[in-house]
Amino acid sequence: MKDRHLSLNQTQRVRLEAALQELQSVAPAAVSAAAVTVADTIPVNQEDNILKGHGTSDQDGEVVATLCGVVERVNKLVYVRTLRARYKPEVGDIIVGRVIEIAPKRWRLEINFSQDAVLMLSSMNLPDGIQRRRTAVDELNMRSIFEENDVICAEVRGFQHDGSLHLQARSEKYGKLERGQLLMVAPYLVKRKKQHFHHLEKYNVDLILGCNGFIWAGEHVVVGEKPKTTGGQQGFSTEAENFTPLETRKHICRLANSVRVLSALGFTLTVELIIETMEASASSNVEINDMLGAEFYVQTAEREAKRRADLLRKKNDAR
C-alpha cells in the first residue's frame, strides 16, 4: 500500500484544516473517548473482574493502553483494536485475494494476513457447475481453474486444527475476478456489512469491498455465463474488440479513484460514499486523473464534513 503525498497550496491547506476541524467537532464524544494512545488510562469505572485483553496492561490498579487504537469491550473483556494493522480474519468474511501458489489439492492466496490462506479444491464450485466428487483429473487441471496471480473472491471458512486459514468459494458469485483493477486499502476502512458485492447496474460495474482491504472494481460479469475458452493466444485485432467498453472503463476508473481519495483521507469506505464521491466528480466535470489531485482531495473532505454536519443537525431536529 503506497501512500500518496499531495502538495497543497496555502489556500487548500487552510480549507483542509477547517474541514478536518469540523469533522472533529461533529464526531460523537464516545468516538474520541474510545481512541487511545500508548500509556493512556482506559476508564473502567471501578468494575470488578475486568479481563484485560490485547493491548492493555495493569499499572497501579489502573488499566493502561500499550497500543494506539480504539478501545473495544466485549462483556468484561477490554482490549485495544489497532487501526494500522494487518487484517484479522473472522468466519464469514468476504475477502479478495491473489493466488500465489498451487499446491496439491489447494491454492494458496495472499489476503493481507500474516499467513497465506488456503482454498481447497473441494471447497469451491467447479467451472462446469456440476456437483460431484473431485477426481485426480481435476487435480491435474487446477491451473486451468485458477493460476498464479489470479484475483479471487472467497469467503473465510475458519481456522483448521493446524492453524491454517481456510476459505471457501461455493457460491456462483465467488471465483475469479477479471477485467478490472484491484485496490489495496487499510482493512479498518472497510466495515463488515450484510452486502459486500455490489453490482452497479447504472454503470455496468461490479464493486467488491473485501473485508481484508482488497477492493475490486471491474466490468460486470453475468453469473452463470460460460467463460470464454482461451484456446491459443489472442491476436491483437481480436484482443482490441474484447477490450472493456470505453464508457464502462471510465466508470471503473472513476470508482477506483474515488476509493483512492477516500482511503487517503481515512474515511470509512461504503458503497454509498464511493458512488457519491464518484458522481460528485462527474457532475463537477473533474477529469478522472484530477480526482487524485489536491483540489478534489480538499473538496471531498469539505463535502464529507458538510454531510456529517447535516446528518447531526437532522438528528437534533428530530428530538
Partner 1 sequence: MVGLSEGEKHFIRGGIAQDVRTDGRRRLQFRSLSVQTGVIPQANGSARVRLGATEIIASVKAELGKPSILHPDKGKVAIFVDCSPTAEPLFEGRGSEELSAELSVSLQRCLLGGKSGAGAAIDLSSLIVVDGKVCWDLYIDGLVVSSDGNLLDALAVAIKVALSDTGIPKVNVSVSAASDEEPEVDVSDEEFLQFDTSGVPVIITLTKVGRHYIVDATSEEESQMSSAVSVSVNRHGQICGLTKRGGAGLDPSVIFDMISVAKHVSQQFISLLDSEIAAAEAEEEAQ
What are the residues binding partner 1 (CB under 8 A)?
A: 2-7, 9, 98, 110, 147-151, 176-182, 218, 236, 239-240, 242-244, 246, 249-250, 253-254, 256-257, 260, 287-294
Q: Do 210 and 153 form a contact (C-beta atoms < 8 A)?
A: yes
Whose Cβ is closer to partner 1: residue 72's or residue 290's? 290
**Between 179 and 199, whose beta carbon lies closer to partner 1?**
179
> Cell triple for residue 30?
464516545
Look up residue 241 and give its DSSP letter.
H
Q: Look up residue 91 and give its three cell numbers.
A: 468466519
Q: Output the smallest distance, CB 282 to partner 1, in A.
A: 12
**Closest distance of CB 56 from partner 1, Å:** 32
The nearest distance, CB 175 to partner 1, in angstroms, is 12
Distance CA 180, CA 46 (A): 53
Query: Which lies closer to partner 1 via its Cβ, residue 136 or residue 246?
Result: 246
Tell me how far apart the alpha carbons of residues 63 and 245 are, in angstroms, rounded to a whole number.
Answer: 57
Task: Output 90 or 287, the one with its CB closest to partner 1.
Answer: 287
Residue 264 or 309 having the CB closest to partner 1: 264
Minimal distance in Å, beta carbon 257 to partner 1? 6
Q: Which is nearer to partner 1, 79 or 216 (CB)?
A: 216
* 85 grid coordinates: 494493522
Residue 167 neighbours by CB distance under 10 Å: 26
Cβ closest to partner 1, residue 52 vs residue 249: 249
Nearest distance from C-beta of residue 13 to partner 1, angstroms: 11
Task: Give kind and range of the element (H or E) at residue 222.
Answer: none
As measured in angstroms, the least distance from the Cβ of 253 to partner 1 is 4
Smallest distance, partner 1 to C-beta of residue 137, A: 23
Write down the residue that cell numbers 456440476 correspond to.
130
Note whether 286 and 298 are within 8 A (CB): no
Element containing residue 277 per DSSP (H, E): helix 271-283
Cα torsion angle, 142, 172, 135, 163, sign: positive
The CA–CA distances, whole Å, from 84 to 81, 142, 153, 186 equal 9, 35, 23, 7
